[in-house]
Amino acid sequence: MPDRKSLTPQVLLHIGQSLGVPLKGLVAVVELLEEGGTVPFIARYRKEATGNLDEVRIQSIKEKVAWFQELEERRATILSSIEEQGKLTPELRARIEATLDKRELEDLYLPYKPKRRTKATIAREKGLEPLALYMWRQEPAAISLAEFAASLVDKEKGVAGAEAALEGARHIVAEILNEDASLRKGLRQIMFDEGIVVSRKSDDAVDEQEKFKMYYEYREPVRGIPSHRMLAIRRGETANVLYFTIELEAERAIGYLKGRVHKQPGDWTPHLDLAIEDAWKRLLNNSIQTEIRLELKQRSDAEAIRVFRENLENLLLAPPAGQLAVLAIDPGIRTGCKIAVVDETGKFLEHGVIYPHQPKNDTTGAARTLHALIVRHHVKAIAIGNGTASRETDAFVREFLQQHGLNKVFSVIVNESGASVYSASGIARQEFPDLDLTVRGAISIARRLQDPLSELVKIDPKSIGVGQYQHDVDQRQLQCSLETVIESCVNRVGVDLNTASWALLRYVAGINERTARKIVEYRNDNGMFRSRVQLTAVPGIGPKTFEQAAGFLRIRDGDHPLDMTAVHPESYAIVGQMAASLGMTIEELIRNPGALERVNRSELSADVYTLNDILEELRKPSRDPREQFVAPKFREEVREIADLKPGMVMEGAVTNVTRFGAFVDIGVHHDGLVHVSELSNRFVQDPREVVRAGQIVKVQVLSVDPKTKRIALSMKALQAPPANPQRRPGNKPQPTLDASLAALSDRWKTR
């Protein structure tokens, strides 16, 4: 939670300006966060206080505040350290307290930071610092530099002659240059603006699949290199296939330093030039490179995490098939197809195994089992996992449904990424301790069709398969970011208090895992909740938790009609005023939303944002914000990569969106790639402008390589040409299709 004491007016003003947030709203958000408010709650139910700031901006404020709190903690540590050394001058304190940049703060601390013995340290021990300061200050004196150096010769101290004294003094000057905050800042900017990322293949590298071939001899400006290429290079370096450096012409850096250091010519000038060259080659080049490499990593991590966040959000908000009994099939060949049936609420009912494929080919027995389960449990949908033998199983099921006249039962292939991870997890063992892993996986597939959000929250997001280089980025930052996305999605949709698992409840605003488990225990012991207020009887749920969570929890057919809506209990009285003014009960008002048009707003004790939200909710109470469920229709005659031919038009589901294109499941067990250049007839800067994870799209097959299992697809080929074709801005070529297809390797290994 934020601590306002560490947020000075200067910091608050800086945050407000950087985020484009009014100061009043910013202060309100900080205060609400400090009081224990959650981002979803503040965004939804405190709009008057914040000035209607949305969830994204409130989350940005929270992150910025946390960043500045870390800065303040580091600033305090640095001030204390320098003060203990007795070197904290008023001027230095003022510079340290004024900076809002972490790198500049570290630059200011660098001269006072404990360090190992350096050449400069040794030179100082020999008494050569006065000579170095003579060079550095460049002020004419009665004695020449050579004479000054000669006067410091001391063989006992290891200063054999004047040249040795001058060399030691130059080492001290080089360190002064290395530790000068303003010089480092300038060089850092030059390297960022003009530096080149250069990657090469390591001499002893082994890259059998040539995954990193594109980067064996590769150059790209630091300023423009996109995150996915930077991450690919870093992965190649981690795999010992590549090494990369950041190149900047030495003349450019040395020229900058000379321009900043030289004040007037003198006998010190050639020695300063030597010190400058030494400082750049021995100290500054490597140090600044390290900083730029870190900045590139942070920038690439942030972009990769953003891509992951958006893909995960789209997947979590995928349309649910709804409350209907589902029979799920986890396809298999030799070991058979595992079956699990769940009822409308996701409750497990029965499981079994069928063997419609090789080697048994027991289609008769399989059909008999399916028919019995469908009739016995009133099954309305069949969900088939998209793993091995999924298309063969899908064909068998469709033929079975047609032969038995089960026209009201539909079948659909479901993305099962992460189902195996769930089946072996502690959550799955707790839910189904007596069931085999394969049966748990089938149950997960069934529930994923009913409600993707409720099921996917049980799985580590990194196992769902919608990230880009997710294992290469900062894992703590990634985890925090993904948790935020899940929390946002869960609260946007709302949670049924009487059916939700603790794994889903833990993401409701104000509720943690411990409280979620307590809720489920209370529900098991006392039966279904009849009202939101009853939630306060659960151990651990006090007024603050109830305030944060209540509006996001739903109770169907409960004691109070508003408990099924997103109207917060604190606003029930306002709805009561509305109903009374119309001569109706709250139940009648909910059943007749048209009556809301006759409400006299001026008579209600509510601010405009709250009132608008209440009216919007009452017009469509408990409406699911997700889109209507639609399943992709795969071509019956195409089941394997070998069945694909260039020119074929296919329908599929987008499984992942990256900076270089979109991966699409077209029903052949391996995703195809729609390269960014094939997404649209118009120029596409970012594929997310055109597609999102979970979207149903039509594509044309461009090329197929069964050996490498690479499939190139196009959406552009099915679109009408633009009336006025636009050239791509800039002159930086996009990554080639072949290079982008190479990124499929990692996905196939994890499917």
Per CATH, which fold does 326-450 belong to? Answer: Nucleotidyltransferase; domain 5 (3.30.420)
| Burial (CB count within 10 angstroms: exposed 0-12, middle 13-18, buried 19+), residue 533 | middle
CATH of 641-750, picked from 1.10.3720.10, 3.40.50.450, 2.40.50.140, 1.10.150.20, is 2.40.50.140
Q: What pLDDT, in 10s, does the model give residues 109-149?
A: 999 998 889 999 999 999 999 999 999 999 988 899 999 99
Q: Per-residue pLDDT for 361 more than 70? A: yes
- Residue of 642 and 195 predicted with greater confidence: 195
Residue 1 is predicted with a pLDDT of: 53
Q: What pLDDT, in 10s, does the model give residues 595-605?
A: 999 999 888 88
Of 636, 667, 644, 669, which Cα lies nearest the Cα of 395?
636
Residue 517 is predicted with a pLDDT of: 96
Q: Please name the CATH architecture into which domain 513-619 falls.
A: Orthogonal Bundle (1.10)
Q: Which of 38-52, 125-139, 483-497, 685-699 bottoms out in mean pLDDT, i.e. has the lowest?
A: 685-699
Q: What is the mean pLDDT of residues 556-560?
A: 94
Q: Per-residue pLDDT for 631 more than 80? A: no
Domains 4-112 and 513-619 in one fold: no
Q: Per-residue pLDDT for 215 more than 90? A: yes
Q: What is the mean pLDDT of residues 323-350?
A: 94
Q: What is the mean pLDDT of residues 252-272?
A: 96
Q: Per-residue pLDDT for 565 more than 90? A: yes
Residue 749 is predicted with a pLDDT of: 40
> For all residues of the chain together, what is the average pLDDT?
91
Of 397, 387, 398, which Cα lies nearest the Cα of 335?
387
Q: Per-residue pLDDT for 359 more than 70? A: yes
Token digits of residue 442: 């089938």
Q: Per-residue pLDDT for 747 more than 70? A: no
Q: What is the mean pLDDT of residues 237-264?
A: 96
Q: What is the mean pLDDT of residues 657-679?
A: 90
Q: What is the mean pLDDT of residues 657-671?
A: 88
Domain limits, the chain: 4-112, 119-308, 326-450, 513-619, 641-750
* Helix or strand (DSSP H, E) at 747: helix 744-750
Q: What is the mean pLDDT of residues 718-743?
A: 56
Q: Per-residue pLDDT for 104 more than 60? A: yes
Q: Per-residue pLDDT for 554 more than 60? A: yes
Residue 505 is predicted with a pLDDT of: 97
The C-alpha angle 208, 211, 212, rounded to 5 degrees, equals 110
Q: What pLDDT, in 10s, does the model give residues 399-448?
A: 999 999 998 999 998 988 888 899 999 999 999 999 999 999 999 999 99
Torsion of CA 151, 155, 157, 160, to 10 degrees: 70
Q: Per-residue pLDDT for 452 more than 60? A: yes
Of 337, 439, 435, which Cα lies nearest the Cα of 387?
337
Q: Give the integer Cα–Cα distance in Å for 198 and 247.
A: 7
Of 413, 357, 418, 355, which Cα lies nearest the Cα of 386?
413
* Ramachandran class of 629: left when φ > 0, alpha when ψ lies in -120 to 50, beta otherwise: beta
Q: Give the integer Cα–Cα distance in Å for 83 and 89.
A: 9
User: 211 falls in which pLDDT band (50, 70, 90)?
Assistant: confident
Q: Per-residue pLDDT for 300 more than 70? A: yes
Residue 20 has a CB neighbour count (10 Å cut-off) of: 8
User: Can you list the alpha helix ranges (DSSP code H) found in 470-598?
Assistant: 475-493, 502-505, 513-526, 543-549, 572-581, 586-591
Yes or no: say if 390 and 331 are a contact pair by the CB < 8 Å rule: yes
User: 725 falls in which pLDDT band (50, 70, 90)?
Assistant: low
Residue 622 is predicted with a pLDDT of: 78
Q: What pLDDT, in 10s, does the model give residues 32-50?
A: 999 999 999 999 999 999 9
Per CATH, which fold does 119-308 belong to? Answer: Tex N-terminal region-like (1.10.3500)
Per CATH, which fold does 4-112 belong to? Answer: Arc Repressor Mutant, subunit A (1.10.10)
Strand 410-414 to 381-385 pairing = parallel
Residue 193 is predicted with a pLDDT of: 97
User: 318: number of CA atoms within 13 Å, CB side?
Assistant: 28
Residue 744 is predicted with a pLDDT of: 46
Yes or no: say if 289 and 191 are a contact pair by the CB < 8 Å rule: yes
Percent of the chain with pLDDT over 90: 76
User: 750 falls in which pLDDT band (50, 70, 90)?
Assistant: very low
The separation between the first and the last C-alpha atoms of the chain, rounded to the nearest angstrom, is 39
Residue 4 is predicted with a pLDDT of: 59
Residue 627 is predicted with a pLDDT of: 86
Q: What is the mean pLDDT of residues 180-205?
A: 96
Q: What is the mean pLDDT of residues 187-206?
A: 95
